[in-house]
Structure 1
Amino acid sequence: MASIVVGPVLRYVGETTATIFVETDAFCRVTVRSDGREWTAATFSAHDHHYAIVLAGGLEPASVQDYEVDLDGESVWPEPDSPFPPSRIATLDPSKDASFLFGSCRTSVSHDKEGTDLHGVDAMRAYALEMARNPDHWPDFVLFLGDQLYADDTSPQMREFIEQRRGLEEPPGEEIKDFIEYAELYRLAWTDSANRWLLSTLPSAMIFDDHDVRDDWNTSHSWHEEMNRTPWWHERIVGALGSYWIYQHAGNLDHDTLRDDKIWKIIAAHDDSSELDLTSVVDAFGEEIDSDPTTYRFSFVRDLGESRLIVIDSRAARDLRPDHRAMLDADELAWLDDQMRGDTQHLFIGTSLPFLLPTGIHDLESMNESMAQGDKPLTAKIGEKIRQAVDLEHWAAFEKSFADVSEMVMQVARGQRGAAPATITFLSGDVHNSYVNEVTVTPEPIESKIVQAVCSPIRNPLPRHVRMLQGTLSGWMADPMRKLINRFPKVKKPNFDWTTTHGPWFDNNLARVEVLGPRLLLTWAKGDVEGDKYDDPKLVRVATVLID
C-alpha cells in the first residue's frame, strides 16, 4: 500500500475551491474527503517521486469542514492518535476582514537543544503549537516570502543524505545538486509533526528567493555568466525550477489559472489508468525558464475579500542584460502594471526583497549600482565585487525598476487607478531582521498610507555581532549617505522620502496582518523555550504596530 511522504499540504483556498498537495512513495489514487463529498487525483511522477494535486470544488463559501485523505481507498490522514486537531478547509468569506501570516528565511534543522542553540526556536513551529492549543482566531493563510529552503547551506540530515547518495567530495559538495536532492530538502522542511499539521490546515502561498536556488541567484549578468561556467550549475537550476513548480508554485494558483497552466494541461489530459511520468516535462521547463524567463510567470494574485494581494517574482523574472538591467523584465513589469489597481480596501504587495530598505542602505545600494553599471571598467569591476560580497541587490540596486514601481504605487495612492486603498503595504523578508517603514513625503498629495513591513527570519538568526552592525547601519547611515550621494549626480535618488518607524528587531519571527476596517494591525511573534522543553515552545509577542 502507498504511504504519504510529504503532506497533505493545503494550498490555494477560495470561496468554493481548495487545492491539496500530497507526495507519496508509489503510484496511487489520492482521495480527499470532506463534508460528505470526495475528490480524487492519480499521482504523476518526476524523477521517481510521486505527487498528487487534488482540486476540490463545490465547497460552501464561508464554511469550515474537516477533511481526510485516502490512498487507494485506505485512510492515511489524519494519523491515528494524532495530538493535533483535525485538518480542515476554511473557505474564503468575502465579507470578512483578511487575517494572515507572513515571513521568510527558515532553515530545517532539529528542534532539540542542539538545533535550537544554533538556529533558535522555529517561529513557524511555535505558531503551529499555539494554533493547536487555541483553535479560536486562526489566521486565514500563511504567505512564505522566500528561502523556504536553503539549497546552499544544508543541514546535517541533508548532508547525510548527500553523503549516502553521491558523497560530499563530488561537486557541488554539501550543496543541493539536482531534483532528487531538492525532493529530500522539501521532505526535511515540511515533515516535522507540528509544521506538517500547520501546513495541512492553514492555506499557504509561496514565492522563492535566492537561497531556494543559491545565494545571490540572478544578482547580475556577471553572476549568471560565472555560474553557467560551473559544471554542476545546469543540473542544479533545472532541478530547482522543476521542483519549485511541483512543491510550491502550482498550489499558489486559483483553479481557473492552474487549468490554463501548460504543465497542468499535460497532467489533466493524461489517462490516469497509468502514472504520468513528468520528468522530461519539468526538466525542459527548468531549462526554458533559465534561458528565457519571459516564457513563464511565477507572480500571482489572490483576492482577500475586500483586499488584494499581489505576489511578485523578483528573482527569476529579472532582466540581467547590462544595458537593460531590471528587477522585472518588460513582460513582468507590464503584468504588474495591469494588476496595480485601487478599488480595494487594502493593497498588499508581496516581494521577497524589501522594496523600501532603511534609507541609508537604499542609498548605498543605489551608489553601488552606479559604480557597477558605470563606463569605467576598473570602477565597474570593484562595484560588482562589492555587490556580490555584501548582497547589494535589492530593489534599490535596480534603480529603473524601483522608479517604475514607485510611480505605479503613487498613482494608486493618488486615486488615479481606481479609488485609493486605505493602505498600500509591501510585505517582504530576506534581510534577517524585521522592521516597518512608512512613506512620509511625496511629490504630490496621496490618499493612501504607504508602508513597508518586513518579517525575517522565521528560523535563521544572524550572528550577534552582525545584528549589532546591521542595527547600527540601519540607523545612523541615513544622513551621511544622502549627503554623499548628493555629490554624485549620476546616482539616482527617489523623489519621495520614508522613515523607519519600528525596528529593527532580530528574533526568529512570524508576522500577522489583521485588517481592521481601514486600519491594519501588524504583530510579530516568536517561540520561547522554557527550561529544557524544546519540544513545546510557547508563542511570545515581539512587537505590535497599528497602521491607521
Structure 2
Amino acid sequence: MPELVLGPLVRCAEATSVAVWVETDVHTHVTVRAGDVEASAPTFAVHGHHYALVVVDGLPVGEPTPYELSLDDTVVWPLTDSPYPAPVLPTINPETPLRMAFGSCRTSVPHDEEGNSTHGIDALRAYGLRMAGVARSTDDPEEGEIRWPDLVLFLGDQVYADETSPQMREFIASRRSLEEPPGTELKDYEEYAHLYRLAWSDPATRWLLSTLPSAMIFDDHDVRDDWNTSLSWLRDMQATSWWHERIVSGLTSYWVYQHLGNLGREERDVDPVWQHVVGHEGPDELDLTPVLDELSERVQGDPTAYRYSYSRTFGTQARLVVVDSRAARVLQPERRSIVDDSELAWLDERLRGDVDHLLIGTSLPFFLASGLHHLEAFNEALASGRWGRRAGRVGERLRRAVDMEHWAAFQEGFRRVSDMVIEVAAGQRGEAPGTVTFLSGDVHHSYVAEAFSTRAREREGAPALRSRLLQAVCSPIRNPLPRGVRVGTAFLSRRVAAPIGRTASLAIGVPPAPLRWGYVEGPWFDNNLATLEVQGRGLRMWWARGEVVDGHHDLPSLVEVADITVDPPATAPSPVRREVAAS
C-alpha cells in the first residue's frame, strides 16, 4: 500500500482553486476530495522520490472546504488519530481584506528543552498549535473566532544546507564519511530530500502546512551561506570537488519542494518543466530527473534560462511580487547587480500602481539600517577597485567575511529598483498605492523602516511621493543571533552609525541614495512570525513568538511581540503607531 512520506502542503490558493503538493513512497495516484469537488494526478519521479501536485478547481470563493487525500483510493490524510482539526482548502476572496503571515530563517532541530535552549522556540510551530486550538495565546479574543491568515510567505532559508542539525548529520553519516567533502554539509539530492522531511514533518507544522496556503522563495542557506556573493566566491566554490552536485541538487530540490507550489494557474500553463508533467501519457511514471537537472545546470551559466521570481494579485487591494535576489545576480566586478537585466525588465512590468498596496517580497532587506547600507555601498566600490587593486582585494575579503551582499552591496540593482518604486509612489505608473511595502528576512532581527524623498529631490521639484514606502522584516522564525552579535546589530541600527557609513561611502565616490530612510520601530531579536493585514489604504502588522509555559516545551503559547499600524498616506500623522512594546 502506498504511503504518504511528506505533506500534504496546501500551496497556491486562488479564487476557486487550490494546489496540493505531496511526496509518496512509491508511484501512485493521488486524489483530493473537498466537498463535491474531486481532483487527481499521478506522481512523477525525481532522483527516485515520488511527488504529485493536485490542482483542485471548482471550490467556493473565499471559503475553507474540509478535504481528504487518498493514495490509490486509500485515505491517508487526515490521519485517523490526529489531535488537530480537519484540514481545509481555503480559497482567496479578492474582496476580503488580505491577511498574510511572513518570515524567514528556520532551522530544523527537535522541539524539546534542549532544542529550545539552543535555537529558541519555533514561532511557526507555535503559530500552528494556536491555529489548531491546541495551545493558547496571550491576546485571544474573549468572544468570536480568530481570523487566521489567507497564506504564509516564507522569505528564504526554509532549510539550512550548510549548517546541519545532529539529526541531519546522523543521516549523512549513514551514507558517507563526514570526513569526505563537503563534510557535514549537504552533498546531493537524497540529502536535500531528508532535510525537507526534517523541516516539515513535525505533526503541528505538518498540520499547519496542510491547511494554510504557502508561498516561498530561497535565500543563501537553501544552498550555502553567501551564495553568489561575488565572482571570487563563485570561483572558489567551482574549484571544489562537491559544488557542482550541491548546486544542481539544491536548485532541483528547490523546484520540487518549494517553487512548483508557488505557481498559479497562468504561470503553470507556460512553465516548461510543468508542461513535461501534464503532457506525460501512459501508465509508467514520468521521471523528471533529467529535465530538472539539466535546467539547474543551465541556470548556473545563464540565469535567464529560468525565472524563480513570481507575482500574485489579490483583486485591487494588493499585488505581491516575489523577487529572486540570489540566482539571477550579475557578478562581474566591473558590473555587479543583484538581479540581471532580464529580471529587471520583468520587475519593471510588475512594479505598478492601481492597487491599494504593492507588496515586494525579497529575502534580503531592501532598506537596511542606514549605517550598514552605506558601509555595504562603500565596500562594493572598494572591492571593485575604486582605490586600487590592493584595496580591492581587501574589500573583497571584507565582503565575504562579514556578509556584505545585500541590495546595498549591489548598487546598480538597488538604484534601478528604487527608481521604479519612486515612480510607483509618485503616481507615474498608475494610481499610487497606499503603501509600497518590502517584506524581507535574512538578517536575524526584525524591524520596520520608512523611506522618504531626499531633500535634493524636493529642491529639484520632483513629483511628491503619494505612497508610504516601507520595509518590514521578520527574521528569524527559528535561528536567533548570539547575544554578542545583537549588540553590534543594534549599534548599526542606531542613527549614530549612519554618519559613519555615509562618510565612508562619500569618500569613495558612491553617489547619494535615491531615497532617505530610517528605522521607525526595532530592532527586536525574537524568533517570530509576522502577520500583515490590509486595512483599506493602510496596514496593520504584528509579530508573534512562542513562549514555554509551566515547562511544557512541546506546547508553547503564542505571545505578541509588536503590533504596528500604518495609516494611509493622506491621514498619516506619524510614521507608524505602535500598539504593543517589542521585547
- Scaled by the length of structure 2, the TM-score of the pair is 0.93
- Correspondence 1:66-465 to 2 at 5 A: 66-133=66-133, 136-305=146-315, 306-375=317-386, 376-442=388-454, 443=457, 444=462, 445-465=464-484
Give the superposed CA RMSD: 1.1
Q: Which amino acid aligns with 1:437?
A: A
Q: Which amino acid aligns with 2:399?
A: R
> Cα distance, 1:272 vs. partner?
4.8
- 1:87-106 Cα shifts (integer Å, max 9, x gaps): 11111101111001000000
CA distance in 2, matches of 1:383, 1:229: 22
- 1:246-279 Cα shifts (integer Å, max 9, x gaps): 1100100102211211111111111251111111
CA distance in 2, matches of 1:423, 1:230: 45
Helix, strand or coil at the partner of 2:210:
helix
Moved more, 336-345 or 126-135: 126-135
| Partner in structure 1 of residue 526 of structure 2 | 507
- 1:452-499 Cα shifts (integer Å, max 9, x gaps): 0000000000111111121122213112222343333x2232032111
Helix, strand or coil at the partner of 2:393:
helix
How many equivalent residue pairs? 547
CA distance in 1, matches of 2:498, 2:517: 11
Judging changes above 3 Å, is the alpha-carbon distance between structure 1 residues 169 and 37 closer, same or farther for their aligned structure 2 residues?
Answer: same
The answer on whether the counterparts of 1:149 and 1:211 sit within 8 Å (CA) in structure 2 is yes
Q: Which amino acid aligns with 1:220?
A: S
Q: Which amino acid aligns with 2:24?
A: T
- 1:264-312 Cα shifts (integer Å, max 9, x gaps): 1111111251111111111111101112111110000011232110000
Helix, strand or coil at the partner of 1:86:
coil
Structure 1, unmatched stretches of 5+, are none
CA distance in 1, matches of 2:248, 2:515: 40
- 1:304-337 Cα shifts (integer Å, max 9, x gaps): 2321100000000111122221111010000000
Moved more, 372-381 or 536-545: 372-381
The answer on whether the counterparts of 2:87 and 2:210 sit within 8 Å (CA) in structure 1 is yes
Helix, strand or coil at the partner of 1:315:
coil
Structure 2, unmatched stretches of 5+, are 137-144, 568-583
The answer on whether the counterparts of 1:128 and 1:198 sit within 8 Å (CA) in structure 2 is yes
Judging changes above 3 Å, is the alpha-carbon distance between structure 1 residues 486 and 377 closer, same or farther for their aligned structure 2 residues?
Answer: closer
- Scaled by the length of structure 1, the TM-score of the pair is 0.98
| Partner in structure 1 of residue 506 of structure 2 | 486
Identity of aligned pairs, percent? 54
> Cα distance, 1:59 vs. partner?
1.7
Helix, strand or coil at the partner of 2:39:
strand
CA distance in 2, matches of 1:48, 1:207: 25
| Partner in structure 2 of residue 11 of structure 1 | 11
Helix, strand or coil at the partner of 1:67:
strand
The answer on whether the counterparts of 1:354 and 1:430 sit within 8 Å (CA) in structure 2 is yes
> Cα distance, 1:377 vs. partner?
1.2
Helix, strand or coil at the partner of 1:266:
helix
| Partner in structure 2 of residue 477 of structure 1 | 497
CA distance in 2, matches of 1:44, 1:417: 42
Select 2:543's aligned residue among 509, 521, 524. Answer: 524
Helix, strand or coil at the partner of 1:486:
helix
CA distance in 2, matches of 1:83, 1:492: 58
Helix, strand or coil at the partner of 1:258:
helix
CA distance in 2, matches of 1:150, 1:547: 34
CA distance in 2, matches of 1:335, 1:473: 33
Helix, strand or coil at the partner of 1:470:
helix
Moved more, 273-282 or 94-103: 273-282
CA distance in 2, matches of 1:453, 1:168: 39
The answer on whether the counterparts of 1:399 and 1:492 sit within 8 Å (CA) in structure 2 is no
| Partner in structure 1 of residue 580 of structure 2 | none
Select 1:495's aligned residue among 514, 521, 533. Answer: 514
- 1:40-90 Cα shifts (integer Å, max 9, x gaps): 110111111000111111222122201110000000000012111111111
The answer on whether the counterparts of 2:154 and 2:217 sit within 8 Å (CA) in structure 1 is yes
The answer on whether the counterparts of 1:360 and 1:482 sit within 8 Å (CA) in structure 2 is yes
Helix, strand or coil at the partner of 1:406:
helix
The answer on whether the counterparts of 2:378 and 2:504 sit within 8 Å (CA) in structure 1 is no
Helix, strand or coil at the partner of 2:518:
strand
The answer on whether the counterparts of 1:43 and 1:50 sit within 8 Å (CA) in structure 2 is yes
Helix, strand or coil at the partner of 1:70:
strand
CA distance in 1, matches of 2:87, 2:448: 33
CA distance in 1, matches of 2:190, 2:449: 41
Helix, strand or coil at the partner of 1:165:
coil
CA distance in 1, matches of 2:515, 2:52: 48
The answer on whether the counterparts of 1:21 and 1:53 sit within 8 Å (CA) in structure 2 is yes
The answer on whether the counterparts of 2:18 and 2:90 sit within 8 Å (CA) in structure 1 is no
